[in-house]
């Protein structure tokens, strides 16, 4: 009788596991779909902030050059530089926050998509483009070092997930 009870308990546990898996799969699928729509808005905002920040950084360079060459009143230029530095600080903070949010959510999407076997619409080439963009932004002074390192770490994690998913796909196709 003890064996029969254990068998029934295990059947119940496996049934519960199947139900939980089904709920998890459905939830992941819905969340990934929601992310695919939302990430477009997040990317738009991220790109807008990048463009504004690049423009302000270029304006600072130009003003400093004009001051150096004596082409502009230093007093007026310094006031404008202070305004620009304030705006740059705000834009840099916004960029860092948006970029980290985007990459963290992308990593979560990849993680859960690969767990449930959903197709991943992200490639190693996309990852290399992200790394190049990160280097460019870092070189231009758009990110602080901590944020750049955090983003690089997230991109490494994304790469590891992509490599595992690719290996898994290849193994399944060979069966």
Q: Is residue 9 part of a domain?
A: no
Q: How buried is 73 (Cβ within 10 angstroms: 0-12 exposed, 13-18 middle, 19+ buried)?
A: exposed
Domain range spanning residue 102? Answer: 31-174
* Whole-number Å distance between alpha carbons of 94 and 48: 11
pLDDT score of 86: 96
pLDDT score of 126: 94
Q: Is 43:102 a contact under the CB 8 Å cutoff? A: yes
pLDDT score of 121: 83
Q: Number of structural domains, the chain?
A: 1
Ranges under pLDDT 70 in the chain: 1, 168-175
Mean pLDDT of all residues belonging to the chain? 92
Q: Is residue 55 part of a domain?
A: yes
Q: Is residue 49 part of a domain?
A: yes
Q: Is residue 3 part of a domain?
A: no
pLDDT score of 169: 57
Which pTM value belongs to this model?
0.87
pLDDT score of 85: 96
Q: Is residue 17 part of a domain?
A: no
């Amino acid at each position: 009788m003890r064996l029969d009870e254990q068998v029934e308990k295990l059947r119940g546990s496996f049934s519960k596991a199947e139900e939980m898996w089904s709920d998890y799969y459905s939830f992941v699928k819905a969340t990934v779909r929601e992310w695919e729509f939302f990430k477009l808005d997040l990317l738009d905002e991220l790109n807008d902030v990048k463009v504004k920040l690049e423009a302000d950084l270029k304006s600072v360079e130009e003003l400093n050059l004009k001051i150096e060459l004596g082409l502009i009143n230093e007093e007026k230029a310094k006031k404008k530089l202070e305004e620009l530095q304030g705006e740059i600080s705000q834009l840099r903070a916004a960029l860092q926050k948006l970029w980290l949010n985007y990459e963290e959510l992308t990593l979560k999407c990849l993680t859960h998509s690969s767990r449930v076997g959903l197709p991943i619409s992200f490639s190693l080439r996309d990852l290399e483009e992200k790394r190049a963009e990160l280097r460019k932004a870092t070189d231009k002074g758009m990110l602080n070092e901590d944020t750049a390192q955090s983003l690089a770490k997230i991109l490494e994690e994304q790469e590891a997930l992509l490599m595992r998913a690719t290996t898994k796909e290849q193994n399944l196709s060979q069966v």
